[in-house]
Structure 1
Amino acid sequence: MAASSKLLLTGLASTLKQIALACQQDGFFQVKNHGISEATINNMLRLAIEFFNLPESERLKNYSDDPSVKNRLSTSFNVKTEKVANWRDFSDSIATLSKITSTNGLQIPHPSDDVPGLQVLRNGKWVAVHPIPYTFIVNIGDQMQVISNDRYKSVLHRAVVNRNKERISIPTFYCPSPDALIGPATVDRR
């Protein structure tokens, strides 16, 4: 094996250990160098700001709980899903994001601006997650806690209002079908 390949594998192993430790302790971590350009992230944030600056009556024209509607405003409560989603219409950026996580249950990405607002409960105290520009915040969520047999932690979190500056966040959730049975993964520890 070439020396450069060994260095790459050593760096990957170190990164994986850091991610595992963050999942075990905090249930959250931030991803940088993810392949999504700063321009794409800036455009997403700009469009979110433009949308939320529209009058409420205009925004509500886009409201729908119908998953077959390509572009819609919706809540995450009681949304009906299809067993097979139509992913053809997603952009290349979203396809790249899907490659970041090969495991079900991760809530990714969570691009946000530089305004703090996300907090996680650590040892009974709310701790602010300081946003790092152009990173994605990953919340492992309840499903990964189950799949990891409680090795990774799903932690309570909240978003708080910043009184001095608006905060923009664009969370995305990856979840299995409601019919899926989630249980601890079988791991061979040799």
Structure 2
Amino acid sequence: IMSTMSSQMIVSSSALIEDIARLVFKKGLSEKVLAWLGRLAVLAIALIAVSIAFDSEATVLDLVGFAWAGFGAAFGPLILLSLFWRKLTNYGAIVGMISGAVVAYCWGQFLSGGIFDLYEIVPGFLVNLILAVVISLATYRADTADDKEIQEEFTHTGEIIIQGPPAKS
């Protein structure tokens, strides 16, 4: 358990720092700063895990279902949009990912029961999908070099899927 937990915390910390910190701080960060940010991320993840573990009514199955709801709400729409919709932007993806995870968490923690008795992945998935599309449409610009390169890659990948890979000569 300890080995799995430590590796998961390191992977989560690395993903946060590599994907978010490098995006926010475009200029190069020193290795020392990255190491400290990684340690802070591990601490934040550990605190979140401890707060979830204090729920004495939760079973392991409930916690696993809650975790999968968070993952599905945060990443499900983005995977589908990135595969099938060429106008998804990084801003739409980030806003969608964060909003989906937050909605799934809040729904599961504060809004369960009564008319809100719905598995938290559903509202999180829908909020993520809607916000990712709206923000992407608001921030999409086809005239930039990066977007042109992405469009060409998207088109090329679609052609490969439809026609199959090119024959080797």
Q: Same fold (TM over 0.5)?
A: no
TM range (shorter): under 0.3
Q: Normalization by structure 1: what TM-score? A: 0.22
Larger Rg: 2
Q: Normalization by structure 2: what TM-score? A: 0.24
Higher helix proportion, which one?
2
